[in-house]
């Protein structure tokens, strides 16, 4: 009766183990084309552009168009909390957009790194923006470590933050990129991401 035992094992034990490991049933496959929107603002509450996030087969494509920056490089990340209110930095000092928390790090690496060259890093790490002489910046890139479907790696309800200075892609916790100058919360758009069942 080995076969029957095996079938029982496969039918009962394997799904239970999967649930225990993931804390939930395995995530539904990501729906290609699901989108999320972000309206970014300055610390004074002025509108400063937007981003559109789209589910793609290898992650989430982020297309960002922002303004009101100083010319040059600016660190840009996904932060853990969906709030752009003032709040404490790691030292406890209240800063603009501090309530957004640190960089989104669902794998708990506690390591800031290069968005392309480091495997062990915050999922929210991203390439620098380059603002032109008018302070406008655009970026299109795909983050392969995040999703738009409910689950540990989902960025729905997180925040996008642009910093005052360039990200050096190595210094913890935020690449030495200075003050937070733009922020916006990632909100589902269209019929994107509600519910965990792919239809």
Interface ranges with Cu ion (CB under 5 A) = 77, 161, 174
CB of 156 to Cu ion, least distance (A): 18
Closest to Cu ion by CB, 93 or 199:
93
Helix/strand/coil for 180: strand
Alpha helix locations (H) across 9-117?
A: 14-22
**62 versus 161: smaller Cβ distance to Cu ion:** 161
How does 12-34 read in b/e, with b if 16+ C-beta sit within 10 Å?
A: eeeeeeeeeeeeeeebeebeeeb
Rounded to a whole number of angstroms, the minimum distance from the CB of residue 98 to Cu ion is 11
Task: Tell me whether residue 68 or residue 74 sits nearer to Cu ion (CB atom).
Answer: 74
Find, among 149, 155, 147, the residue nearest to 187 by Cα: 155
Q: For the beta carbon of residue 4, count every other beta carbon within 10 angstroms.
A: 8
**In the complex, least distance from residue 112 CB atom to Cu ion, rounded to whole angstroms:** 9
Q: How far apart are CA 123 and CA 127, in angstroms?
A: 12
On whether the CB atoms of residues 35 and 55 are closer than 8 A, the answer is yes
If the CB atoms of residues 18 and 85 are measured against Cu ion, the closer one turns out to be 85
CA angle 141, 146, 150 (to 5 degrees): 135
Q: How far is the CB of 121 from Cu ion (least distance, A)?
A: 13
Q: Output 124 or 151, the one with its CB closest to Cu ion.
A: 124
Which residue, judged by CB position, is nearest to Cu ion in the bound state? Answer: 77
Separation between Cα atoms, residue 63 and residue 52, nearest integer Å: 5
Q: How far is the CB of 167 from Cu ion (least distance, A)?
A: 8
Q: Which is nearer to Cu ion, 30 or 169 (CB)?
A: 169
Shortest distance (Å) from residue 56 CB to Cu ion: 23
The beta-carbon contacts of 1-5 under 8 Å, at least 24 apart in sequence, are: none
């Amino acid at each position: 009766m080995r076969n029957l035992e095996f079938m029982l094992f496969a039918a009962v034990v394997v799904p239970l183990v999967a649930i225990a490991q993931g804390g939930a049933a395995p995530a539904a496959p990501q729906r290609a084309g699901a989108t999320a929107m972000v309206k970014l603002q300055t610390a004074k509450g002025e509108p400063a552009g937007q981003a559109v996030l789209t589910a793609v087969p290898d992650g989430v494509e982020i297309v960002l168009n922002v303004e009101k920056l100083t010319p040059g490089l600016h660190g840009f990340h996904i932060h853990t909390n969906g709030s752009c209110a003032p709040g404490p930095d790691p030292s406890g000092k209240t800063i603009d957009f501090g309530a957004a928390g640190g960089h989104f790090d669902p794998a708990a690496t506690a390591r800031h790194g290069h968005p392309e060259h480091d495997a062990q890093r915050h999922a929210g790490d991203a390439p620098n923006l380059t603002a032109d002489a008018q302070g406008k910046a655009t970026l299109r890139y795909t983050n392969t470590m995040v999703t738009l479907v409910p689950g540990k790696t989902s960025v729905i309800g997180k925040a996008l933050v642009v910093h005052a200075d360039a990200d050096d892609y190595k210094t913890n916790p935020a690449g030495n990129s200075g003050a937070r100058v733009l922020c916006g919360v990632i909100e589902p758009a269209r019929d994107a991401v509600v519910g965990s069942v792919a239809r």
